[in-house]
């Protein structure tokens, strides 16, 4: 599959204009919860697309990070709105926006997202997917330098140790602070991600608009690398889908721009 990155970036920007001006007010007023969640998820994909394509076209990591923050803030506002309405939340594993916030280095925003994200397994969510997502939520929400207790880790081990053994080892390596062990585990998970990504790239029906942001950038990998940095590890090895430009420090603070209004002050 070939991608016209400039065209996809332009289409994402145009789609966001329409979504903010027309589609969102209508769905917020008259749509279902499912329609609202789908629309905000679509907005997040457009923000991710703008950020990734600009990184690839212009070599601008700060623009990537800012767009990741835009997506995360809109997802956060959606979750707060759903909680206020007593509506069902998206599954914890629907966490691209959280991973993006961590990858961009927006720690306060990431912790806020953890606070309002789903903490119970969804009806259609696999146990291991929920366990991994919840493990990351709980770890990201810790204060800098904090470490989870064995009691805190135990509920997740059973779900992850067999079906997600490489990710479980990856997380154990993160806790250990052993950079070599962390890199070895990361590379095993990266092999899985690469196989899945390359298969998706040639699958009939894959939408370039929905896929381009995740075709070239591995949000989960970048997020775990940021978490490793905070544990004092320096992982400098070249990694597919984790380009060096996407691993530089964040210097552009998010100012709340491009945030959907749900009719109440954001929490």
194-218 pLDDT per residue, tens: 999 999 999 988 999 999 999 999 9
Percentage of the chain with pLDDT > 70?
Answer: 99
Angstrom distance (rounded) from CA 132 to CA 37? 22
Reduce the secondary structure of 147-212 to three states and give it as a string.
Answer: CCCHHHHHHHHHHHCCCCHHHHHHHHHHHHCCHHHHHHHHHHHHHHHHHHHHHHHHCCCCCHHHHH
pLDDT of res. 155: 83
Q: Dihedral sign, CA of 206, 209, 212, 214?
A: negative
- Is the pLDDT reported for residue 105 higher than 70? yes
- Is the pLDDT reported for residue 109 higher than 50? yes
At 267, the pLDDT band (50, 70, 90 cuts) reads low
- Is the pLDDT reported for residue 265 higher than 60? no
Q: Quick one: average pLDDT of 123-129?
A: 95
Residue spans of the domains in the chain: they are: 5-119+127-247
Through-space distance between the first and last CA atoms of the chain, rounded to whole angstroms = 41
- Is the pLDDT reported for residue 231 higher than 70? yes
pTM of the predicted model, to two decimals? 0.95
Angstrom distance (rounded) from CA 132 to CA 130? 6
Q: Quick one: average pLDDT of 158-168?
A: 93
């Amino acid at each position: 599959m070939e991608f016209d990155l400039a065209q996809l970036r332009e289409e994402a920007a145009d789609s966001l204009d329409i979504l903010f001006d027309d589609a969102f007010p209508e769905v917020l007023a008259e749509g279902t919860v499912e329609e609202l969640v789908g629309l905000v998820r679509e907005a997040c994909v457009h923000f991710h697309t703008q950020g990734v394509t600009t990184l690839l076209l212009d070599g601008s990591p700060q623009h990537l990070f800012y767009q990741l923050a835009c997506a995360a803030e809109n997802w956060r506002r959606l979750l707060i709105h759903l909680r206020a309405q007593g509506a069902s939340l998206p599954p914890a594993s629907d966490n691209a926006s959280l991973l993006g916030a961590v990858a961009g280095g927006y720690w306060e925003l990431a912790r806020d997202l953890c606070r309002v994200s789903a903490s119970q397994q969804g009806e259609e969510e696999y146990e291991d997917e929920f366990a991994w997502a919840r493990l990351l939520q709980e770890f990201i929400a810790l204060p800098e330098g904090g470490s989870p207790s064995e009691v805190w880790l135990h509920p997740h081990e059973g779900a992850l140790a067999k079906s997600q053994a490489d990710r479980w080892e990856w997380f154990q390596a993160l806790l250990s602070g052993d950079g070599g062990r962390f890199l070895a585990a990361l590379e095993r998970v990266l092999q899985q991600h690469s196989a899945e990504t390359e298969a998706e790239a040639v699958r009939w029906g894959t939408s370039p608009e929905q896929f381009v942001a995740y075709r070239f950038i591995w949000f989960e990998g970048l997020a775990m690398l940021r978490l490793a940095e905070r544990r004092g590890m320096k992982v400098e090895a070249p990694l597919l889908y984790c380009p060096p430009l996407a691993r530089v420090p964040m210097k552009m603070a998010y100012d709340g721009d491009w945030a959907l209004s749900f009719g109440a002050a954001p929490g």
